[in-house]
Amino acid sequence: MSVPIPQPPRIPFIGNVAQLDTTVPLNGFVLLAKQYGEIFKIDILGRPIISINTYALQQELCDQKKFRKYLGGAMVQARVLGGDGLFTAFDDEPNWGIAHRLLTPAFNAVAIRDMFDDMQDLTDQLLLKWERFGPEHIIDPSEDYTKATLDILALCTMSLRLNSFYNEEPPRFGSAVSEFLKECFLRSARPSLLQAVMTSSSRKFEELRQYLWGIPSDSMSIPILLSFVFGVIKTDCAVVLKDRRANPTDKKDLLNTMLNSADPKTGARLNDDSIIKNLLTFLVAGHETSSGTLSFMTYYVIKNPEVWRKLQNEVDEVTGGQRLQYSHLGRFSFLEACMRETLRLAPAAPMRTVAPYEDTVIGGGKYFLPANTPCLIQTFTTQRDPAVWGADANEFRPERMMDGKFEKYPPNAFQAPCLYWSAIRLQEMKMIMACVVQKFDLSFIDPSYTLEIQQGLSIKPKDLRIRARPRTSGPRLYATPSYSMPQNKSTQSKSSNRAGPAIQADKLVPMYVLYGSNTGTSEAFAQRIASAAATYGFAAKLGTLDSATGNLPTDGPVVIVTASYEGLPADNAAQFVDWLGSLKSNELKGVRFALFGCGHSDWDRTLHKIPLLCDQLMASHGAERLMKTGLGLSGAQDFFEVFDQFEADLWKALTTKYTVTQSQSSTSIGFDIEIIDTVASRADTLNQPDAALGTVKENKVLTQPGHPVKRHIEFELPEGLTYRAGDYLSILPQNPPRDVQRVLARFNLSEKQMVVLSSIGPTSLPTDQPVSLYDVLLGYVELSQPATTQDLRIMMGVATTDSTRAALKEMRSSYQAKILAPRLSVLDILEKYPSSDINLPLGVFLRLLPPMRVRQYSISSSPLWNPQHATLSISVLESPSLADKNKIFLGVGSNYLSQLNPGDRVQISVRESHGGFHPPEDPSTPIIAFGAGSGLAPLRGFIQERALQKSSGRNVGKILLFFGCRDPEGDYIYKKQLDEWVKLGVLDIRPAFSRDPAKSDGCKYVQDRLWNDRDDVTDLFDDNAQVFICGSSRVAKGVMSKWAEILRSNDPTLSAEDAMKRLEETMQGRYATDVFDA
């Protein structure tokens, strides 16, 4: 007995068109599959389409006796261009049959091998470009791969040189194809009546078609073919045609095959019209998919440094450092596995359409498909089906594609690319990638780049930008005497080659300050060292650790400041750490380094793992430690003090070991500030392109008056940004205006004051241009960080009275009690004294302030609710200052967010959550979740996702939520919505009211409630539940130790330690925490 196929709610007349993502249709289908499961139906203007989302159903549709290729929607629209060419033909069209039989032999192995030289020629052009532009150049890999693959196609199919690399612009042909196909999709989703009135859209469509054809289609002939080429290169098409006819060649290119051969079956020849359409097809379908795959592969191999290293090793080993030969290609087994894995995760054609010849039932009798119903096989989703590819199906793991494993996957699990192209594509992609790997080290421009997709005919990574640094080796030389560390504009002052206030730059000793940092602490410390360097006689360059991968300099000290994340490196240090791990002997001889590690005691098992690993690997591979490695705990009271001590020791060690000229002035470390009287450049600054800005849609209070404020904020994301439940939004905040005014008042300046900053060392402040001082104080620096001991020393140096100097000295000697405990900032201290007592110049004050850090917030929604919108649930930090109970401390990020109004634009980006904090792939897996206060945030996204899945007919597992707040009336955030989800049957909620425990069965905190409800928890855990904890680290610790107590209550022989050990073993792979203390 069949069951109805689930379908999203329809709107009369247009059906489900509104649910489709017109920018990236694939994203819409992926989300609908998540919501509706293995199969769903959509209605496009009355036309039903079935989406197939699992391997099992896909396999049934691969039966060619029952299902045929279906050309519908966008492809029918595309026939105005491709007609009965191979790509857009109906199977029964005669020209398709002729072309198919004629051309198949032209794609045989020998023919493709003969293309090797042409392919290499054009690959060289790409390599040359990357080499010439140098390591600082920002590369759009999709654009360059498109140039290479389009040129390869034109040369190999019709012996035509397009010379795309001699043209600055991206190939117009490629972008015209993408625009054309997107328009095909949009037209297919529009009612014809609406299309008829959309004259500008129709005009654009016709223009694109004409451009791609060269001239209108009603006069098709061979010259037309060359006319469209004429649109791509500025060559006289008639001459090319004449030339081919006047000088026939033996070259077995596809143009010759089509011009000169007859169909072996019928003896028919292709007419001119058909030749043109097929040539168009080759160029359209052939280049775009290859360049997309190469771009995705580039993304995946950079993202996975261990893969990159393996790939380099294989290429080095196979080629022996020599120029690539055809015979090498067959020996790149790991490279081939990487290509397959890329094609699995990002299939160039992410969906294809088939239709049953007759009425059919699939899914073991479950789903009825009427004859000729178009069925979209969602390859992008089916190739990630955990039933075939395992629980790590979403991960890039080339090893699953080699050593005989690939062959063992069930039939059709890997949907091979189109017959005609596979061999050509595989060869060209292998060649291009092998040559790139052999020549360059690649890195992201933005180390935290998160993959987004753009879709035309095929898919490509959106806005992927990389850097290609020529490898210094062959095989591999690591320590190099001169250094070319990339620097982004904001970290290098334009005036760094100028003499500063007290120091001559050309006398300085080179120094390299490298950081691995996600949230900015290590970066701020590194910045601080780099800024002070000139005072001690060093010219510092500041960069990420990744920027120094394979290339640690030996001509000056290297100082490293780095953090760990779940035992892994920060985003901008992953390549570096992997590279260190790959060293074999004394490659780092000559490198001299000092290292400071940031960590947090909450991660006791992986405490300081990365700094310690870097330290140990560097020393064991020949680098010389300049001093004892420093380690600080970011949550600890003495964090800054420990760093200060490290910095003081660092300068002592460096000035002893290097011959340098130091500046004596304690204020020479400051910015040189020129006060100017104009506000003219403000408008320029405000005219910044705002593509990465999100828009606030809603900002409302969730708590009752008298309770610490919590807010719900909804953002419309910048276009193309996607997320998963559990991810974070990273926000670049601004300081509270109140605190900016405090600074202006202290320095007696107006908020309209414009300044020009110049700096001898690297800085993250805007230099050498007029800027508003207010803007600098608002957005570029942290104003409320505790003063460091070094800050105190500098203030002592400019104190004008003995009593003030003595007071500052006292603060320094009782640093913990006088500065850290009350969290006294430099500004707080300055305000305590008349300005005449501490004569600190504004430039020095600015230099003492750390750069503004981003703040991260868990997204509290699911993309199934709205893929373009994300919500936050924040706790606003506004409480009596620890320094002075009569003053209010305002947290920067939370207060910035709290003040936003609908329509405000905010600099945001999505960051992937660490450590698997996402709803389980299989929605039927039960969840046990603990959240206190705003720790409910990501869990709300999980519940919302399940509620939507359940409402769409999916079988979802229960969520048992332990939620902690003060009382049921004041701060039980989202109560109404949570109750609705309880009613829906997706949620079972167990509150704990800390200030009114009587109303929660006597349980004060979530861990008490866990104890109270332990039988339910045990049952659900035995039912394979996954566990998630979010909130402050105290909550996580409380829950884990209470759970260990439950184990002990069942087995009294267990010691507390053994119980915890057993708990961790039992929870292995089924437990994720997301904790942080503000």
Ligand X SMILES: Cc1cc2nc3c(=O)[nH]c(=O)nc-3n(C[C@H](O)[C@H](O)[C@H](O)COP(=O)(O)O)c2cc1C
Ligand Y SMILES: NC(=O)c1ccc[n+]([C@@H]2O[C@H](COP(=O)([O-])OP(=O)(O)OC[C@H]3O[C@@H](n4cnc5c(N)ncnc54)[C@H](OP(=O)(O)O)[C@@H]3O)[C@@H](O)[C@H]2O)c1
Over the Cα atoms of the chain, what is R_g? 32
Nearer Cβ to ligand Y (696/1075): 1075
Region at 938 (left for phi over 0; alpha for psi -120 to 50; beta for the rest): alpha
Contact residue for ligand FAD among 798, 877, 989, 1046 (CB under 6 A) = 877
> Starting from the edge strand earliest in sequence, which strands make up the sheet with 905-911, in order?
855-858, 728-731, 905-911, 693-701, 710-716, 869-875
- In sequence order, what E strands does 980-1034 have? 987-993, 1026-1031
Contact 456, 123 (CB under 8 A): no
Region at 717 (left for phi over 0; alpha for psi -120 to 50; beta for the rest): beta
Contact flag: residue 732 with ligand X (CB under 6 A): no
Nearer Cβ to ligand FAD (170/708): 708
In this chain, which stretch among 343-351, 606-614, 662-670, 678-686 interacts with ligand X, using CB under 6 A? 606-614
Binding mask 845-864 for ligand FAD (x = CB under 6 A): ----------xxxx------
In this chain, which stretch among 290-298, 415-423, 515-523, 649-657 interacts with ligand X, using CB under 6 A? 515-523
Nearer Cβ to ligand X (181/563): 563
Rounded Cα–Cα distance for residues 733 and 894 (Å): 9
Contact flag: residue 521 with ligand X (CB under 6 A): yes
Give the C-alpha distances (Å, rounded to integers) separating 601 from 371, 401, 778: 63, 39, 32
Helix (H) or strand (E) holding 1066: helix 1056-1067
Q: Which three-class secondary structure state does DSSP give residue 738?
A: helix
Q: CB 589 → ligand Y: shortest distance, Å? A: 42
Nearer Cβ to ligand FAD (863/893): 893
Helix (H) or strand (E) holding 264: none
Q: CB 522 → ligand X: shortest distance, Å? A: 3
Token pair in block for residue 287: 């280049």
From 429, 437, 432, select the one nearest 471 (Cα to Cα): 437
Contact 1028, 1068 (CB under 8 A): no
Contact residue for ligand FAD among 174, 553, 893, 931 (CB under 6 A) = 893
Q: CB 603 → ligand X: shortest distance, Å? A: 3
Contact 749, 773 (CB under 8 A): yes
Nearer Cβ to ligand Y (56/1075): 1075
Token pair in block for residue 588: 């780092």
In this chain, which stretch among 692-700, 735-743, 793-801, 930-938 interacts with ligand Y, using CB under 6 A? 930-938
- Known binder of ligand: residue 418? yes
Sign of the C-alpha dihedral computed for residues 77, 78, 79 and 84 taken in this order: negative
Contact flag: residue 966 with ligand Y (CB under 6 A): yes
Nearer Cβ to ligand X (141/569): 569
Q: CB 891 → ligand FAD: shortest distance, Å? A: 2
For ligand Y, the nearest residue by Cβ is: 933
In this chain, which stretch among 538-546, 885-893, 922-930, 990-998 interacts with ligand FAD, using CB under 6 A? 885-893
Question: 1026 to 1065, contacts with ligand Y by CB under 6 A?
Answer: 1030-1032, 1034-1035, 1038
Contact residue for ligand Y among 845, 1005, 1043, 1071 (CB under 6 A) = 1005
Contact 518, 448 (CB under 8 A): yes
φ/ψ of 671, rounded to 5, equals -80, 150
Sign of the C-alpha dihedral computed for residues 32, 188, 343 and 179 taken in this order: negative
Nearer Cβ to ligand X (519/871): 519
In this chain, which stretch among 143-151, 546-554, 926-934, 1064-1072 interacts with ligand Y, using CB under 6 A? 926-934
Nearer Cβ to ligand FAD (457/1036): 1036
Report what 1031 binds from ligand X, ligand FAD, ligand Y, none; CB cut-off 5-8 Å by kind. ligand Y
Question: 910 to 969, contacts with ligand FAD by CB under 6 A?
Answer: 934, 937
Contact 152, 426 (CB under 8 A): no
DSSP state of 818: I
Contact 761, 493 (CB under 8 A): yes
Residues 404-428, buried b or exposed e (16+ Cβ, 10 A)? eebeeeeebbbbebeebbebbbbbb
Q: What is the DSSP annotation of 138-151? A: PB-HHHHHHHHHHH
Question: 913 to 972, contacts with ligand X by CB under 6 A?
Answer: 914
Strand 538-544, strand 509-516: pairing:
parallel
Contact flag: residue 875 with ligand FAD (CB under 6 A): yes
φ/ψ of 583, rounded to 5, equals -70, 150
Token pair in block for residue 449: 């780049």
Binding mask 712-751 for ligand FAD (x = CB under 6 A): ----------------x-----------------------
Question: 841 to 860, contacts with ligand Y by CB under 6 A?
Answer: 858
Nearer Cβ to ligand Y (189/1035): 1035
Contact flag: residue 406 with ligand X (CB under 6 A): no
Contact residue for ligand FAD among 865, 889, 924, 1046 (CB under 6 A) = 889
Contact 626, 595 (CB under 8 A): no
For ligand FAD, the nearest residue by Cβ is: 891
Contact flag: residue 894 with ligand FAD (CB under 6 A): yes
From 665, 656, 640, select the one nearest 760 (Cα to Cα): 665
Contact 862, 941 (CB under 8 A): yes
In this chain, which stretch among 256-264, 435-443, 877-885, 983-991 interacts with ligand FAD, using CB under 6 A? 877-885
Rounded Cα–Cα distance for residues 593 and 623 (Å): 7
Contact flag: residue 563 with ligand X (CB under 6 A): yes
φ/ψ of 566, rounded to 5, equals 50, 40
Contact flag: residue 891 with ligand FAD (CB under 6 A): yes
Rounded Cα–Cα distance for residues 376 and 352 (Å): 6
Nearer Cβ to ligand X (603/1011): 603
Contact residue for ligand FAD among 760, 892, 961, 1039 (CB under 6 A) = 892
Contact residue for ligand X among 171, 537, 599, 718 (CB under 6 A) = 599
- Find tokens 């930090």 and name the residue: 877
Rounded Cα–Cα distance for residues 70 and 89 (Å): 10
Give the C-alpha distances (Å, rounded to integers) separating 735 from 359, 740, 781, 850, 889: 65, 7, 8, 13, 12
Size of the site for ligand X (CB under 6 A): 24
Question: 784 to 823, contacts with ligand FAD by CB under 6 A?
Answer: 784, 823
Nearer Cβ to ligand X (743/1027): 1027
Contact flag: residue 465 with ligand X (CB under 6 A): no
Nearer Cβ to ligand X (85/893): 893
Q: Which three-class secondary structure state does DSSP give residue 722?
A: coil
In this chain, which stretch among 362-370, 513-521, 899-907, 1003-1011 interacts with ligand X, using CB under 6 A? 513-521
Nearer Cβ to ligand FAD (632/893): 893
Contact residue for ligand X among 510, 567, 590, 970 (CB under 6 A) = 567
Contact flag: residue 932 with ligand Y (CB under 6 A): yes
Contact 349, 417 (CB under 8 A): yes
Q: CB 300 → ligand FAD: shortest distance, Å? A: 25
State the residues that interact with ligand X by CB under 6 A.
517-523, 563-567, 570, 598-600, 603, 606-609, 634, 914, 1076
Binding site per annotation, positions for heme: 418
Return residues touching ligand Y (CB under 6 A): 708, 858, 875, 932-935, 937, 964-966, 994-995, 1005-1007, 1030-1032, 1034-1035, 1038, 1074-1078
Known binding residues: 418
Q: Give contact residues for ligand FAD (rule: CB under 6 A).
A: 728, 784, 823, 855-858, 873-875, 877, 879, 881-882, 889, 891-894, 934, 937, 1076, 1078
